Chain A
Amino acid sequence: AQTVTQSQPEMSVQEAETVTLSCTYDTSESDYYLFWYKQPPSRQMILVIRQEAYKQQNATENRFSVNFQKAAKSFSLKISDSQLGDAAMYFCAYRRPGMDSNYQLIWGAGTKLIIKP
Chain B
Amino acid sequence: DTEVTQTPKHLVMGMTNKKSLKCEQHMGHRAMYWYKQKAKKPPELMFVYSYEKLSINESVPSRFSPECPNSSLLNLHLHALQPEDSALYLCASSPRQGSPHGYTFGSGTRLTVV
Chain A residues contacting B108 (CB-CB under 8 Å) are 43-44
* Chain A residues bordering chain B, tally (CB within 8 A): 27
A107 touches B43 (CB 8 A): yes
- With an 8 A cutoff between CB atoms, is A37 at the interface? yes
- With an 8 A cutoff between CB atoms, is B45 at the interface? yes
User: Which residues of A in the span 13-32 have a Cβ within 8 Å of any Cβ on B?
Assistant: none
User: Which residues of B in the span 16-68 have a Cβ within 8 Å of any Cβ on A?
Assistant: 40-43, 45, 48, 50, 55-56, 58
A45 touches B100 (CB 8 A): no
- With an 8 A cutoff between CB atoms, is B97 at the interface? yes
Question: DSSP majority for the B interface?
Answer: loop
Q: Which residues of B contact A (CB under 8 A)?
A: 40-43, 45, 48, 50, 55-56, 58, 88, 90, 92, 97-98, 100-108, 110
B42 touches A44 (CB 8 A): no
User: Which residues of A in the span 58-117 have a Cβ within 8 Å of any Cβ on B?
Assistant: 89, 91, 93, 97-101, 103-105, 107-110, 112
Q: A98-B98, A99-B98, A101-B56 are in contact. Are A107 and B106 (CB under 8 A)?
A: no
Q: Give chain B nearest CB distance to A109 CB in angstroms.
A: 6
B90 touches A45 (CB 8 A): yes
A43 touches B98 (CB 8 A): no
Q: Give chain A nearest CB distance to B2 CB in angstroms.
A: 11
B42 touches A50 (CB 8 A): no
A45 touches B98 (CB 8 A): no
Chain B: which residue is nearest A100 at the CB level? B56
Given contacts A45-B90, A46-B105, A101-B48, 16 further A-B contacts (CB under 8 A): A43-B108, A47-B103, A50-B100, A50-B101, A89-B40, A93-B42, A98-B98, A99-B55, A99-B98, A105-B45, A105-B103, A107-B42, A107-B43, A108-B42, A110-B40, A110-B42
A47 touches B98 (CB 8 A): no
